């Protein structure tokens, strides 16, 4: 029996999250089972349920770490003030992350939680922090009071990048063509933001 003095509560929770992350990166999220995580950390399956409500809860916490990673990646794309160039830099940084951590990205965005599991507020808050990065670079395209316009554009770009990543990681884009996800992202950002600029120029 693993003795509880081996790790403090928090150490064990971190250990579990780390092994879960490793497991997903190595074998995809279908390998993330209670028994395999338990084996990896050297505790019994039941112990996991003393630290996480259920597997969905564990997944959410792994995903929180992934969001941290992603946010760090996006922080490397420093805004220049040109919305089109900055949005493109964010999009390319995003796909740099997807390419480096495809399976963590899958767990973050493709894993469907069970019916009983809602995303906690602290989690959606972290997503909003990432969206705020995009909002900042797009803001110059809109009138200062038009926050709804910025929000809409951010959501369109965010969802669209997500779609490109989704089809790319599931192999459903390569089936149709070998064109890379990053190239599609470039086309999306260049022309969508171009369309926004054109609309603003006319209005």
Partner DNA sequence: TCCCGTTTCTGAACAGCGTTCAATAAGCTT
Partner DNA sequence: AAGCTTATTGAACGCTGTTCAGAAACGGGA
44 binds, among a copy of itself, DNA, none (CB under 5 to 8 A by kind): DNA
Q: Which of 60, 154, 155 is nearest to 108 (CA)?
A: 60
CA separation for the pair 149, 116 (Å, rounded): 34
- Residue owning tokens 């999306």: 188
Q: Taking CB under 8 A as the rule, does residue 188 contact a copy of itself?
A: yes
Question: CA–CA separation, 68 vs 73, rounded Å?
Answer: 9
Residue 47 binds which of DNA, a copy of itself, none (CB < 5-8 A, kind-dependent): DNA
Single out the residue of 13, 92, 127, 182 in contact with a copy of itself (rule: CB under 8 A).
127
Distance in angstroms (rounded) separating the CA atoms of residues 73 and 95:
10
User: CA-to-CA distance for 83 and 157, rounded, in angstroms?
Assistant: 13
Least distance from C-beta 164 to a copy of itself, angstroms? 4
Place of tokens 């459903």: 172
Binding of a copy of itself by 60 (CB under 8 A) = no
Other Cβ atoms closer than 10 A to 174:
13
Q: Which option in a copy of itself, DNA, none does residue 54 bind, with CB closer than 5 to 8 A by kind? A: DNA
Choosing from 46, 81, 114, 144, the residue that interacts with a copy of itself (CB under 8 A) is 114
129 binds a copy of itself (CB under 8 A): no
Closest approach of DNA to the CB of residue 17, in Å: 14
Residue 29 DSSP label: G
Q: Binding residues for DNA, per CB under 7 A? A: 1-7, 9, 12, 32-36, 42-47, 49-51, 54-56, 114
């Amino acid at each position: 029996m693993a003795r509880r003095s081996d790790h403090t509560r928090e150490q064990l929770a971190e250990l579990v999250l780390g092994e879960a992350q490793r497991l997903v990166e190595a074998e995809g999220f279908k390998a993330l089972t209670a028994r395999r995580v338990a084996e990896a950390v050297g505790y019994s399956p039941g112990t996991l349920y003393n630290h996480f409500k259920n597997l969905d809860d564990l997944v959410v916490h792994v995903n929180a770490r992934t969001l941290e990673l992603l946010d760090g990646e996006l922080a490397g794309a420093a805004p220049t003030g040109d919305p089109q160039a900055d949005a493109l830099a964010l999009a390319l940084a995003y796909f740099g992350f997807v390419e480096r951590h495809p399976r963590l990205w899958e767990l973050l965005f493709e894993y469907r939680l069970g019916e009983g599991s809602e995303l906690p507020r602290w989690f959606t808050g972290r997503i909003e922090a990432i969206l705020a990065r995009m909002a900042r670079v797009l803001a110059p395209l809109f009138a200062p009071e038009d926050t709804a316009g910025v929000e809409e554009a951010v959501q369109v770009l965010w969802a669209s990048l997500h779609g490109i990543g989704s089809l790319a990681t599931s192999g459903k884009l390569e089936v149709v063509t070998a064109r890379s996800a990053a190239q599609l992202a470039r086309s999306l950002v260049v022309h969508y933001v171009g369309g926004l600029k054109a609309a603003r120029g006319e209005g």
